[in-house]
Amino acid sequence: MGEAHGTERNTGGRPLPSYYGDRAGPAGRGAGQQPGEASGAPPALRVRGLRKRFGEQEAVAGIDLELPAGHFAGLVGPNGAGKTTTLSMVTGLLRPDEGLVEIVGRDVWSDPVGVKSRIGVLPEGLRLFERLSGRELLTFTGRLRGLPVRDVDLRATQLLDVLDLSAAQHKLVVDYSTGMRKKIGLAAALLHNPEVLFLDEPFEGVDPVSAQVIRGVLERYTATGGTVVFSSHVMELVESLCDWVAVMAAGRIVAHGPLAEVRGEAGTLQDAFLSLVGADRRSAGDLDWLGGGPK
Ligand SMILES: Nc1ncnc2c1ncn2[C@@H]1O[C@H](COP(=O)(O)OP(=O)(O)OP(=O)(O)O)[C@@H](O)[C@H]1O
């Protein structure tokens, strides 16, 4: 394995952002350019006609998406809308019935190795190697990614520090709390400095302090040219973090684009979302037996 300290392509990543120390800044971005919108650069994500059926259930019903690089993108939708199924297909974890997925110009299904070296994934459920310590998990992940030991050690130390996991680095992952698991999973997803990061519900079950830490790391990552795509139900969070949003309902993309466009005339993303998915017309129904008072 070659000496790769300070380089990036052989590890499949982009130049490291400044919080990694003395590394180069944003990838391919000139003065005045929007993040990742370098001329001629392929989109971070391109999806055409993506479809997945589970028996009678059409989980993803033929979706098209195009996300320019360098954006902080939120994928939102009600329970069962198809977000996890979409993210699983986009990241090469679940084979689509139909459709095309390209990440930074590479086809996920015909070039899986090329794509997987350029993406980081925090999947739903987050199965981790429970009997490793947090640091061992990062070392193992980094070596699997082909990073030199020295880089793995340095990056693991920095990520553990930034994510406030240094004190727990020698604890087994099985003994980590939900928030700690999300953070170590995020560290593992970031270790090889991917170009695009896909996160399924990264803030679910995470306390406000850890959420703030995760948020800070992701903001730094996008500020230096990285692209984040994450799913969430929390509209305030999406509205405060994202500059680009896709709204899914019943397996379809019902709106996508810059946050301001998707929000439109609605006061908040929450209002726009409820209207887009038809939830503003739903009420609590006939639950007149529910509540306190005389029985
Ligand atoms: N492996 C599976 N087998 C059968 N049906 C599935 C499977 N995975 C997902 N589905 C169905 O596909 C639909 C979309 O599910 P998916 O998990 O993608 O939605 P989601 O938007 O991520 O939901 P949530 O916000 O509740 O996590 C649901 O109706 C779900 O029941």
Beta strands in the chain (DSSP E): 45-54, 57-67, 72-76, 98-103, 106-107, 119-122, 196-200, 227-232, 244-249, 252-258
pLDDT value of residue 280: 63
Main-chain dihedrals φ then ψ at residue 231, nearest 5 degrees: -100, 145
User: What's the 79 CA to ligand 1 centre distance in angstroms?
Assistant: 8
Q: Is the CB of 68 under 6 A from ligand 1?
A: no
Domain span(s) for CATH 3.40.50.300 in the chain: 40-118+197-279
Which atom of ligand 1 lies nearest, measured to the CA of 233? 25
Could you tell me if 63 and 96 are in contact, meaning their C-beta atoms sit under 8 angstroms apart? no
Per CATH, the architecture of 40-118+197-279 is what? Answer: 3-Layer(aba) Sandwich (3.40)
pLDDT value of residue 23: 29
Show the low-confidence residues of the chain (pLDDT under 50): 1-36
pLDDT value of residue 190: 94
CB neighbours of 259 closer than 8 A, spacing ≥ 6? 239, 242, 243, 244, 245, 269
Which atom of ligand 1 lies nearest, measured to the CA of 79? 26
Atom 27 of ligand 1: nearest residue by CA position:
79
Closest alpha carbon to 16 in 204, 138, 193: 193
Which atom of ligand 1 lies nearest, measured to the CA of 124? 27
Q: Is the CB of 217 under 6 A from ligand 1?
A: no
User: What's the 172 CA to ligand 1 centre distance in angstroms?
Assistant: 31
Name the residue with tokens 């130390």. 157
Could you tell me if 152 and 191 are in contact, meaning their C-beta atoms sit under 8 angstroms apart? yes
Atom 17 of ligand 1: nearest residue by CA position:
84
Closest alpha carbon to 41 in 51, 52, 33: 33
pLDDT value of residue 40: 73
Q: Is the CB of 88 under 6 A from ligand 1?
A: no
Q: Is the CB of 77 under 6 A from ligand 1?
A: yes
Q: Is the CB of 232 under 6 A from ligand 1?
A: no
pLDDT value of residue 7: 34
User: What's the 226 CA to ligand 1 centre distance in angstroms?
Assistant: 28
Q: What is the DSSP letter of 33?
A: P
Could you tell me if 108 and 95 are in contact, meaning their C-beta atoms sit under 8 angstroms apart? no
Return the half-sphere exposure (C-beta side, CA atoms, 13 A cut-off) of residue 290. 4
Tell me the best of 50, 52, 54, 248 to mutate to test the pocket of ligand 1, counting ligand atoms within 8 Å of each CB and taking the most. Answer: 54
Main-chain dihedrals φ then ψ at residue 116, nearest 5 degrees: -65, -25
pLDDT value of residue 285: 66
Q: Is the CB of 81 under 6 A from ligand 1?
A: yes
Atom 26 of ligand 1: nearest residue by CA position:
79
Q: Which two three-digit tokens encode residue 258? A: 């810059």
User: What's the 246 CA to ligand 1 centre distance in angstroms?
Assistant: 17
